[in-house]
């Protein structure tokens, strides 16, 4: 007999309630919103059936704004008040924006938030967070109209290399748009979810993401419902625009054109992009146009020619792929599937090169423009509580760059290395450098280099109230915690007294993709140099520690030295101080050895003095008891 689910009139039965959640791909060029319907992830279209929303906002003087295709149509007519590619400015300071002179926008900084760039428009001064919020608000309204109700939350995707500030700025934009954020996830990870769950296959997947301006590679493992990101990599200065540029140069050479005006150059770049897209599905692309100068360009670009002129670009994408596999400890034969993400992956030469490298055909059964939003929708559906049989799966992402602290000598002590799975929590103990130190400055940094000056500062705070102790006696435990969104908090606690301090790392601006990629490249190029500089810094810190210890000993027990001995010791100190200023670790080590040799007898006399002071007034019985702990314990027990 079948059982009916009974519910009060007008109320849905609990097992049949479906919470409205969406996944949002907030892109540089276009944005999308997707949801799960009847167990399937689908992209939600606008009223005209268009799935994409151009990430462009136009601001009017009367306070109105236009978002999407309407704003895109105004870009050429009113570029100053039409903001595009705002994602590049998220979490960025004014001094982080390069080539401002080539952009049509008017930038300014804010006294209230000096680290966040602003853009002056006819509708007022706008921050990147506000512009992004207008885009997200449009997507939210589209979703609520299509789903017929208010959203309970959204999963929003971000580039894998977004840092704390950029992720926080994305969350702030969503809050301003009235969207509760269930979680932020990395774009390649979202794509892997879409493919992994759609194909119901376990194993290792490589996500090859070639967009208009950047390239990312992520290696993930799907095992028993757990998505674990093993490694990430990429090149933030490589994308589909570079392929357009190669065709543009080919046109100039083939047509033997004279130096062009700016207008003609833009026209030819547009024709180059059109030819690239046409070659995706055809063997020959016509390149025909009349320039403002009156010259006529009439050429044909074949797939073979395009492959030849872009061969180095395709090969350039494979270098980060090789490194990501090495970081994950895998070979191409361990990869079960290759997920293609981004419109630029449609190019035949890219498809061929990826297939040849991985010894298999890439996965193309999902639209590369939509796959990120689809994966985000699946994650949102799960987090909202819309679980179905077989939906028990877990997502484990990673951080793109190492996080650590500054230690003496300007060195970086890495606490959480890059490619660590998040959420994560790591702790490490530190101590004081000088006698009587009652405060400790904690400097949180991000990067792969050995010196703080070569890394990016994230936050600073102070731990005060440390009990005065001799150098090295205090035990200060510093804990790093990264949540599922990749946002960091740091806490420091002195173990003896219990005093503590903490900070939630929300820097006013963040790293650009170029800076992150540059950090990774610099860390590889300067590995040997960094190792030498770190060893030198450590030796300098140790030398200063030795000098402080000897000077403190002379101050308290200087009478144990003869005038001649004291002169030799002080000369050895001056020699070590001079060596510490040099760049020679050998000279520094020899000077430390000389000082230790000159103070060897002095240390022995101090030890004898300390022992005599400790034994003064003690009886033979007390000394024997002190030398036999078990006897002392028995005596204590008998006394009780």
Residue 450 near residue 442 (C-beta atoms within 8 A): no
Q: Provide the 8-state DSSP code for 487.
A: -
Residue 231, exposed/middle/buried by CB under 10 A (0-12, 13-18, 19+)?
Answer: buried
Q: Report the alpha-carbon distance of residue 35 to residue 374 in Å, rounded.
A: 7
Structure tokens of 324?
């990501």
Query: Which residues, in sequence order, are CB contacts of 422 under 8 Å at separation 6+?
Result: 396, 397, 398, 399, 482, 483, 484, 486
Rounded CA Rg of the chain: 32
Residue 312, phi then psi, degrees to nearest 5:
-65, -35
Q: Report the alpha-carbon distance of residue 103 to residue 97 in Å, rounded.
A: 10
126 has catalytic annotation: no
Choosing from 66, 134, 164, 187, which is the catalytic residue? 187
Q: Provide the 8-state DSSP code for 468.
A: P
216 has catalytic annotation: no
Residue 136, phi then psi, degrees to nearest 5:
-65, -35
Rounded alpha-carbon distances, angstroms, from residue 161 to 16, 169, 331, 536: 39, 14, 23, 32
593 has catalytic annotation: no
Residue 534: count of CB within 10 angstroms of its CB: 16
87 has catalytic annotation: yes
Handedness of CA 222, 224, 226, 228 (dihedral sign): negative
What is the phi-psi region of residue 153: left when phi exceeds 0, alpha when psi lies from -120 to 50, beta otherwise?
A: left
Burial 576-613 (b: 16+ CB within 10 A, else e): beebbeeeebeebeebbebbeebbeebeeeeeeeeeee
Residue 243 near residue 215 (C-beta atoms within 8 A): no
Residue 177 near residue 136 (C-beta atoms within 8 A): yes
Rounded alpha-carbon distances, angstroms, from residue 407 to 220, 356, 413, 451, 466: 34, 47, 7, 10, 17
How many separate helices (H) and strands (E) can be counted in the chain?
17, 28
Choosing from 209, 264, 397, 530, which is the catalytic residue? 209
Choosing from 46, 66, 87, 216, which is the catalytic residue? 87
Q: Report the alpha-carbon distance of residue 278 to residue 593 in Å, rounded.
A: 73
- Residue 124: enclosing H or E segment and its boundaries? strand 124-126
439-446 β-sheet, strand order: 411-416, 403-407, 439-446, 456-464
Preceding amide of 21 cis, omega within 30: no
- Residue 220: enclosing H or E segment and its boundaries? strand 215-223
Q: Report the alpha-carbon distance of residue 296 to residue 290 in Å, rounded.
A: 4
Q: Report the alpha-carbon distance of residue 340 to residue 365 in Å, rounded.
A: 10
Q: Report the alpha-carbon distance of residue 210 to residue 345 in Å, rounded.
A: 6
Choosing from 25, 46, 66, 164, which is the catalytic residue? 25
Cα torsion 161, 166, 172, 178 to 10°: value is: -40
Chain centroid to Cα 614, Å, comes to: 56
Structure tokens of 151?
């959203």
Coil, helix or strand for 354? helix
Active site residues: 25, 87, 187, 209
């Amino acid at each position: 007999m079948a059982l009916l689910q009974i519910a009060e009139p007008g109320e849905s039965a609990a097992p049949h309630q479906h919470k409205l959640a969406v996944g949002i791909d907030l892109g540089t060029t276009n944005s999308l919103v997707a949801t799960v319907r009847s167990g399937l992830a689908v992209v939600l279209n606008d009223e005209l059936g268009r799935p994409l929303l151009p990430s462009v906002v136009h601001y009017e003087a009367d306070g109105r704004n236009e978002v999407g295709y309407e704003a895109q149509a105004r870009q050429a007519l009113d570029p100053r008040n039409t903001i595009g590619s705002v994602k590049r400015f998220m979490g960025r300071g004014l001094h982080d924006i390069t080539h401002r002179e080539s952009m049509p926008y008017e930038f300014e900084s804010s006294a209230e938030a000096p680290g966040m760039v602003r853009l002056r428009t006819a509708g007022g001064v706008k921050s990147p967070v506000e512009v992004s919020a207008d885009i997200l608000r449009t997507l939210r309204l589209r979703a609520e109209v299509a789903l017929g109700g208010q959203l309970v939350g959204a999963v929003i995707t971000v580039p894998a290399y977004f840092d704390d500030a950029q992720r926080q700025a994305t969350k702030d934009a969503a809050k301003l748009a009235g969207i509760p954020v269930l979680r932020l996830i990395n774009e390649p990870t979202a794509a892997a979810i879409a493919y992994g769950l759609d194909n119901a296959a376990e194993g290792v997947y490589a996500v090859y993401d070639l967009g208009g301006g950047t390239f990312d590679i992520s290696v993930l493992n799907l095992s028993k419902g757990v998505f674990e990101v093993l490694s990430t990599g990429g090149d933030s200065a490589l994308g589909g625009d570079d392929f357009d540029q190669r065709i543009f140069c080919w046109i100039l050479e083939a047509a033997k054109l004279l130096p062009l005006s700016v207008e003609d150059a833009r026209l030819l770049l547009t024709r180059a992009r059109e030819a690239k897209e046409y070659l995706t599905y055809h063997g020959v692309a016509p390149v025909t146009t009349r320039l403002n100068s009156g010259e006529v360009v009439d050429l044909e670009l074949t797939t073979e020619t395009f492959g030849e002129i872009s061969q180095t670009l395709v090969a350039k994408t494979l270098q980060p792929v090789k490194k990501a596999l090495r970081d994950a400890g895998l070979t191409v034969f361990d990869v079960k599937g290759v997920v293609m993400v981004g419109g630029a992956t449609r190019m035949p030469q890219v498809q061929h090169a990826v297939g040849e490298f991985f010894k298999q055909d890439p996965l193309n059964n999902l639209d590369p423009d939509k796959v990120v939003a689809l994966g985000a929708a699946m994650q949102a559906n799960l987090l909202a509580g819309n679980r179905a049989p077989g939906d028990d799966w877990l997502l484990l992402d990673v951080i793109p760059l190492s996080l650590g602290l500054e230690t003496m000598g300007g060195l970086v002590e890495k606490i959480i290395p890059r490619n660590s799975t998040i959420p994560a929590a790591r702790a490490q103990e530190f101590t004081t450098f000088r006698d009587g130190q009652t405060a400790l400055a904690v400097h949180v940094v991000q990067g792969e280099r050995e010196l703080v000056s070569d890394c990016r500062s994230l936050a600073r705070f102070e731990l005060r109230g440390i009990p005065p102790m001799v150098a090295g006696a205090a035990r200060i435990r510093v804990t790093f915690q990264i949540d599922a969104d990749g946002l960091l908090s740091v806490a420091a606690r002195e173990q003896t007294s219990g005093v503590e301090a903490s900070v939630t790392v929300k820097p006013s601006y963040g790293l650009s993709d170029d800076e992150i990629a540059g950090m990774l490249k610099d860390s590889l190029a300067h590995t040997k140099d960094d190792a030498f500089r770190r060893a030198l810094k450590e030796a300098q810190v140790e030398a200063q520690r030795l000098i402080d210890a000897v000077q403190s000993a002379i101050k308290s027990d200087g009478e144990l030295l003869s005038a001649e001995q004291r002169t030799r010791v002080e000369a050895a100190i001056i020699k070590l101080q001079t060596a510490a200023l040099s760049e020679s670790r050998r000279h520094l080590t020899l000077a430390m050895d000389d000082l230790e040799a000159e103070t060897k007898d002095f240390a022995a006399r101090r030890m004898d003095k300390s022992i005599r002071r400790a034994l003064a007034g003690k009886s033979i019985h007390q000394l024997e008891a002190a030398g036999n702990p078990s006897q002392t314990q028995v005596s204590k027990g008998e006394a009780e």
